[in-house]
Structures are given as structure tokens and as C-alpha cells.
Amino acid sequence: MSASVSTVDTMSMTVGFVGAGNFTRALIIGWTSAGILNAEQIWASGPKETSIAGVKNLGVHTTTSNKECVKDKKVIILSVKPHILPSVLEDIRSVVTRDQLVMSVATGVQLVTIEQRLPDCTRIVRIATAGTTCSVRQAASVFSVGKWATSEDVALVKTLMSGVGICEECKESLVSAVSALTAPGHMLLASEAMADGGVLVGLPRRLAQTLAAQTMIGIGKLILEMNKHPGVLKDEIASPGGVTIAMIESLEKAGFRGAIIDSIAEGHKQSLRLAEQASVNNC
């Protein structure tokens, strides 16, 4: 399940990002550093020169016209905030064709909503991913396909998103749950707390922070590459009377597992609330 070898040729295609903010920048960095796309293949648009300034230094084509960005590109990526999306869809509708694949990353906006606002039979895929991790090619992404998307579209999306991490297809009804699980807030807090613990027992801050982050990467890789249950790995490393089991006792007393589980349940509720808000606001 790690970043897989490309199965679709991406080097001759063109991509247009509508919206050139944080998500777009992270994905461009991820794709170009992975060798999935070159900067010359990529266009990005925003309403003003300042909106596109953040991606200009990545060598991509930029424009303040969404239509120009979208016209004739093989893949269009909708990367604006959900409340902006209706006006963007209205703007680009006349230049979108059945020959293009539309990928939406707008949080909470359903496929059917986008399908209704673009020409009949438009091929659409919805992506959920922790955007910032795309830039370091370690994203955990899922995608759901719209009514008109083809098996070639599925293969292309898998190639593109596997190039910046792992990518699985899932039912659209599960996207909010995925957003909650993969939002990295819990990991950031855990990493910071680990570094604080290191400092408490005498380590310099910088060293503690680096060791904490690398420990997270190492355990994540171990679980994925060995395909082992984390509890099995825990049992294997917790030796009698050792350091690990003493730490586990302390974490269990503090309700560590419950806190993580609850945080994901809370994130899920919030994700559903935002999706509901997007649909009430007609996004």
C-alpha cells in the first residue's frame, strides 16, 4: 500500500488547478518532486495576481482566468473553499467537456452537487486527503467516483494520488469519516507532547522533536510494510519489566486510547456538520 508505480502515463497530460492556495501548492510540490508531472504541464488560476503568487515560483503556468485554466486540460482540479465553489462552477461550466476529468477536493461538497452544476455526463471524482502531507508524498487519500467517471479515470486518480502517498477508493458516505481519521491534529499534538516529554527528561528541544517525528514515521512504516496489527507489534516490543510496558501502563491510566477514539468521533461530527452546512448554503 505504499506509493505505487505509475500505471497510467501522466507525462503528456495537462492539469488545471482552479484555486492556487495551500492545497494546490502542496499537491504541485508532491507531484513534481515525485516525477508524476512536470511544472510545464500544470496551470493554476486565482482571482487576483496575489492569489496566484504562491505557486508562481514553482514554475507552473498561472492565470487570473479560471476559464483559461480549465480549457482543454485533461484534468481539472477544483481547489477552492466550498462556499466559493458554486460561483467557480458557474464560471467554468461553458468550457468543461466530457473529454476532461474533474477532481474536487472541496471539503463536504457532494459529487451530485457538482454534477448538477456542470454539463451533462461530466466525469467527476471527489478526493479526501490531508492536503499538507501531499508535499512530502505521505498523504493518506481516498476518492469516490461520480456517475460518469470511467475505469480509466479511476486508474488515473490512483496513479496521481498514489504518487503522493497511499490512495484507496471508498464509498462517498464514508468520506467524512476518512476526513476525521486522517486530519493530522491528533498526530501533531502527540508529536509535540512526545518532544515535551523528552525535554522533561533532559533532551535538547530540537533533538527531542526530531526523534519524536522519526519515531512516528518509523512505526507508521512498520505497520504498513509488515501489515501487522499495532497491538501485535506492541506485544512484541513490550518486554517483561521493561520501558515500553511501564509507559503503556501510564498511558492506559491517563485514558490515552479513549482520548484518541473520542477525538476522531468528534472530528467526524464536525465533518458532518460542515458537509450539512455546505449543502444548506447550496455549495
Ligand X SMILES: NC(=O)c1ccc[n+]([C@@H]2O[C@H](COP(=O)([O-])OP(=O)(O)OC[C@H]3O[C@@H](n4cnc5c(N)ncnc54)[C@H](OP(=O)(O)O)[C@@H]3O)[C@@H](O)[C@H]2O)c1
Which residues make up the interface to ligand X (CB under 6 A)?
Answer: 18-24, 45-48, 51, 66, 79-82, 84, 87-88, 105-107, 129, 131-132
Edge-to-edge strand ranges of the sheet holding 15-18 = 61-63, 42-45, 15-18, 75-78, 101-104, 123-129, 139-145, 165-169
> Cβ 192 to ligand X, closest distance in Å?
19
Find the radius of gyration of the CA atoms of the chain.
21
CB distance 148 to 123 below 8 Å: yes
95/105 with CB nearer ligand X = 105
Q: In 3D, which of 109, 118, 112, 100 has the Cα closest to residue 43?
A: 100
> Cβ 226 to ligand X, closest distance in Å?
29
> Cβ 46 to ligand X, closest distance in Å?
4
> Cβ 209 to ligand X, closest distance in Å?
22
Cell numbers describing residue 12? 503528456
208/271 with CB nearer ligand X = 271
Question: What residue is closest to ligand X based on CB?
Answer: 21
Cell numbers describing residue 64? 487570473
**Cα(72)–Cα(114) distance, integer angstroms:** 19
53/217 with CB nearer ligand X = 53
205/269 with CB nearer ligand X = 269
